[in-house]
Amino acid sequence: MRAATTIVPLTLTLVLLWGCSHLAVNAEQVNRQVDVFGVELLSRVDHRELAGVAAEREPCVLGHEYDFSALQVTLGYTRDGTLRAVTTRNGANSLFGVRPGDRRADAVHRIEGLGFQAGAIQDTYNGHGLLLTLLPDEDGTLFGVRLEIAPDA
């Protein structure tokens, strides 16, 4: 009986820890899927300049953003300086293989194949502790893509 009272709490603890651990963002795996001028999500690198272009810093609710208008890229940082979001409107960049200029239907097929699921808001997809937002025009062509740490990750 004593062994059962020890095993049950231990088993529950392990299940709870495992259950929470799958929500954590694996920065190394995610950053293999980020092709935006070498930036890495969850890094603490302060990109005031990117590919020779100086940023314009703008405050936001969660911290600040750096806007690189000439590159068509915006980087969002937390208050503690962690890169939490990448938005690109530059067709030379990709997030999980999705590029501005791609057809929305093709992008959805690709990201759903990578384990993302449609979110509550149209054109948002959740997966891997991330929120990926497609920015389509009225013809269904993406003019931008945003990847950010999910608020509940």
d(CA 93, CA 87): 10
Give the model confidence (pLDDT) of 89-118 as tens digits. Answer: 999 999 999 999 999 999 999 999 999 999
More confident: 21 or 121: 121
Q: Is the dihedral of CA 34, 73, 43, 39 positive or negative?
A: positive
Q: Is the pLDDT of residue 23 over 80?
A: no
d(CA 60, CA 100): 24
Amino acid at 13: T
Q: Is the pLDDT of residue 67 over 60?
A: yes
Give the model confidence (pLDDT) of 42-66 as tens digits. Answer: 999 999 999 999 999 999 998 999 9
Residue 151 banded pLDDT, cuts 50, 70, 90: confident
